Amino acid sequence: MSKNVGVGGDREKRSSCPLACTLDLLGDRWTLLVVRDLFFGRSRFSEFQRSPEGVASNILTDRLNLLVEQGLVERRSPPSGKRATYHLTDKGRSLRPVLAAVRDWGLANIDGTAALIGADAAK
């Protein structure tokens, strides 16, 4: 697996700390939710929009572009007239332990949380 994920390449780093560099890429309220939906097998823009958090279309577009640019997601363009679909690359799938750790912490520490259907996909 290549280690060259954007923030490690062209952009200026805040430090060489792997935690800081990963947060520069994924440290926001939305990006990992898109990754979660991809683990759930969702692949279309409209499917991501139907998730219960109600992501705004401009934010969703931005995060999908970021994930594609960083090599975590592949955009597939079917024959004309059909919408593009999005799929995790191997590098994207390598986020599974991150999602699992965050999910498990939330389940143990935040009242009223419950694993969504399809949560097995992020185990």
Q: Based on CB atoms, which residue is closest to its own copies, 79 or 114?
A: 114
Q: Are 8 and 28 in contact (CB under 8 A)?
A: no
Exactly one of 78, 80, 81, 108 binds its own copies (CB under 8 A); which one? 108
String of contacts with its own copies for each residue 23-52, x by CB under 8 A: xxxxxxxx-xx--x--------------xx
3-class DSSP assignment, residue 33: helix
Does position 60 interact with its own copies (CB under 8 A)? The reply is: no
DSSP 42-101: --SHHHHHTSTT---HHHHHHHHHHHHHTTSEEEE--STTS--EEEE-HHHHTTHHHHHH
Q: Are 121 and 40 in contact (CB under 8 A)?
A: yes
- In the complex with its own copies, the residue whose CB is nearer, 8 or 43, is 8
Residue 56 touches its own copies, criterion: CB under 8 A: no
Would you tell me which residues interact with its own copies (CB under 8 A)?
A: 1, 3-5, 7-9, 13-30, 32-33, 36, 51-54, 91, 94-95, 97-116, 122
